[in-house]
Chain A
C-alpha cells in the first residue's frame, strides 16, 4: 500500500514550521503586483512557490538540491522539470547522503515528497533524513570548522596579504537573505514533527509486486511500469501538472528514486552481459522525463553504474538524464592511503549539465572537485592537493 501521510494542514502549518527554521517564502526580488493569496489571481505565481527561485541567467525556475555547494556548481540550482542522476560510489556510502539532502530540502520547504525504493522502506528513509542547521548554529558550525581546519596555518599570520586574514577559509554559502539552500547536520535526524507535517508518498517495490509477473519482451519491467503509474497518479491527482485549476497554492513535487537499475528493481541491465530487456531502463527514463517536463516536479535518481562496464549503457542513461553527477569515493582504492588524498573522502564529477532553453550550458570552470564528509557537514571543494601536502 502506498503509505500516504494524511496531513490535514496544508501550506499553513508548513509555513509556520518553516518559519521556525528561519525560512522565508519570497526571493529577494519581489514583483509588485496582485497579492498571491487570492484564489482568482491571474498574475504570474511561479515566483511565489516556496523554495524556488528563478535562475539569474535565463529565468528558469530552480530548486535547491539540499547542498548549497552543489547548487553553485550546477549553476544556481536544479531546474524544475529535470532529472538529477547521481552515479553511486562503489560501496554506496555517500550517494544516499545526497539523496537524503534532496528529500530533506523538500520537507523543509514544504514540497511534496515522493520516495521510491526497492531496498528500504520509504518511511525508514524519511526517518533518517538529516536535521537542518538553524541560522545561528550554522554560523557556529562554520566558525568551529574554520577554527579546526588546519590550526597550525591559522596561527601563522599572513604578512603580506594581511587584509585577507579575516576572510573565512571556506565558502560561506548562499549570501542572499532568502533561504534557498539550507545546511544540514548529518549527525542528527530530522525532527519527527517536520515529517508528520509534510506530505509524502512512498513506493516500496516488494509491497507493490507480490507475484512474479511474466513480462513481455520489449516492454518495461513490471516494477518500472508500476512506478510510472504511481508517479503519474500522484501528479494528476494532486494537480502538479496544472490539471486542478482550483488549487490554491502551487507546489513542487520532489521525486526520489533509489538505486534505479539495480537487480532489486527486477532489471538485469547491470548484472548480466547480454540481457534480454536492455531497453527497459532507457524507456523508463524517457517516459519519466516526459512526465516531469509537463509538471512542476523535479527528480533525483541514484544509479549503481559502477556495476557495469558497458559504456554504451552508461552513455545512453547519461543522455536521457539532464544533470549527471558522479561520485567516486576513495574507500578501498589505493588512494585511501595516498598522502595526497588524505583530506578528502572522494571525488565528485559533474558529468553533464543540461541546456534548457539555451544553446550553452552553465558549466562551471572548475573540473577538479573533491568532497569530504566532516563530522556534520558535507563539503565540496576544489581539489587542493599540493597545498595540503606542503602544509603537512
Chain B
C-alpha cells in the first residue's frame, strides 16, 4: 500500500496540503470508518468511480451519496441504468427524502409522451443541471457516465461535465468548489480514448479492484496546483451503505516488486570500480599529490640551505659541444 506523498504546492494558491495518513497500521482493527469517505468528499469537482464487472462501484456511489446527504448537502441523481426503486433501495426514508431523482431509465427517448420524461433527453438533463441556480453545496451523481458516453458524443459530454463541475466558481474563489459531481464509469466498456479524456477532466479518480474477498480503492487525487497524490484503501460496504475501512491482505500475498533488487542492478556490470574499501579510501586520502602546496613544501622552499639539497648542475661537455657561447659558427671550417 502506497502512502500519500506530502509535497509542497506548486504555487501558493492551492488550498492547504492534503496529508494522507496511511491506514492499517494495527492489524485487525477497524479504523476510522468515515475517514476514507471524508477524504474523498473533502474536495469538489468531478470524481470518477471506475468499476468493472468483478468489482462493482454502485454501492460505493450510494455510500458517498448517503454521506453527502447526511452532511446536509443537496443531492441530485441522474439515473440511467437502473430503475428508481432499485436505486433507492437500502436508503433510509430520511435520506430518500433528500434525494432529487431525475429518471432517464424509464423512458429515455420520451416515447410515452406523458410529460414525465426529462425534456431533451440526456443532453437536456445535463444542461438543465448546469443551469441550476440554487446556492449552497450540491452533489450530483451520474449513474452512469458509461450510459451517457454511449448516447452522447464524447466531446459534448466532456464539455458539459466541465461546465457542471465548475459552476459557481468565481474568479478569486476557485479553491472552494461548491459542486461535486460523482460519475460512475464502467471501464471495460470504453476504449482508452474516452477513458483518458474523462480521467484528465476528473479531480479525483477512484479505481476499484481488489483481491479475493476484499475490495480496494486506488484513489488518485489531482489538485489544480499541486502534484497528484495517490493511495490505496481496502474497504467493504455494509448493508446500510456505510463504509468499513479495513486492513489490507497480508503483505506476502501482494506481489510488490522489491525496490532493493533494482538498487544493485546498475552497478554489477561495470568494468571499473565505483566503491572504495576503507583501506583504499585511507590510502587515497593520505596520498600527496605532486602539485599540492603543502606546508612541508613551503618550509622546504623558505629554508633552502638547511641540509636540503640545493640544486647543482653537473655538466660534462661532449665532443661536439660548443663552449663559446658568443660565436655560434665557431666550429665551422670556412
Contacts and interface: CB of A to CB of B under 8 A. Distances in A.
A331 B197 contact: no
Interface in A266-289: 266-268, 270-273
Q: Which of B12, B156, B257, B263 counts the most A-chain CB atoms under 10 A from its CB?
A: B12
Nearest to B274: A390
B228 interface: yes
B227 A93 contact: yes
A390 to B, nearest CB: 6
Contacts of B171: 121, 123-124, 127
Nearest to A121: B171
Interface string B253-268: 0000101001100100
B193 A206 contact: no
Contacts of B154: 263, 268, 271-272
A82 interface: no
Interface in B52-88: none
A263 B155 contact: yes
Contact of B259 (A118, A304, A337): A337
Interface string A296-312: 00000000101111000
A48 to B, nearest CB: 34
A93 B10 contact: yes
A18 interface: no
DSSP class of A's interface residues: helix, strand, loop or mixed?
loop
A273 B228 CA distance: 28
A263 B158 contact: yes
A160 interface: yes
Contacts of B13: 128, 189
A212 B156 contact: yes
B8 A375 contact: yes
A164 interface: no
A188 interface: yes
B227 A124 contact: no
A306 B196 contact: yes
A332 B2 CA distance: 11
Contacts of A93: 10, 227-228
A309 B11 contact: no
Contacts of B174: 124
B222 A91 contact: yes
A272 B157 CA distance: 13
Contact of A338 (B163, B196, B262, B289): B262
A97 B10 contact: yes
Nearest to A308: B193
Interface string B193-235: 1101100110000000000000000001010010110100000
Contacts of A97: 10
Nearest to B159: A264
A332 B199 CA distance: 14
Contacts of B197: 262-263, 270-271, 307
Contacts of B8: 187, 375
A260 interface: no
A270 B197 CA distance: 8
- Chain B interface residue count: which class? 35 or more
Contacts of B201: 263-264
A296 B225 CA distance: 32
B65 to A, nearest CB: 27
Interface string B161-190: 011000000010010000000000000000
Given A123-B171, A159-B289, A332-B228, A272 B194 contact: yes
Contacts of B227: 91, 93, 331
Contacts of B263: 339
B289 A160 contact: yes
B230 A332 contact: yes
Given A123-B171, A266-B155, A332-B228, A189 B262 contact: no
A262 B228 CA distance: 20
A314 interface: no
B16 interface: no
Nearest to B259: A337
A17 interface: no
B192 interface: yes
A265 B200 CA distance: 14
A338 B257 CA distance: 11
Contacts of B159: 118, 206, 263-264, 266
A130 interface: yes
Contact of B228 (A91, A160, A375, A389): A91
A153 B21 CA distance: 34
A168 B235 CA distance: 52
Contacts of A377: none
A378 to B, nearest CB: 10
A386 B275 CA distance: 13
Contact of A189 (B12, B158, B200, B228): B12
Contact of B11 (A91, A189, A267, A340): A189
A268 B257 CA distance: 37
Contacts of A331: 227-228
Nearest to B287: A159
A60 interface: no
Nearest to A310: B193
Given A263-B158, A267-B155, 15 more contacts: A92-B222, A118-B162, A124-B174, A187-B8, A188-B12, A263-B201, A264-B201, A268-B153, A271-B154, A272-B154, A272-B193, A307-B200, A332-B230, A337-B259, A338-B259
The 6 closest A-B pairs by CB, nearest first: A263-B158, A271-B197, A307-B196, A271-B193, A263-B155, A271-B154
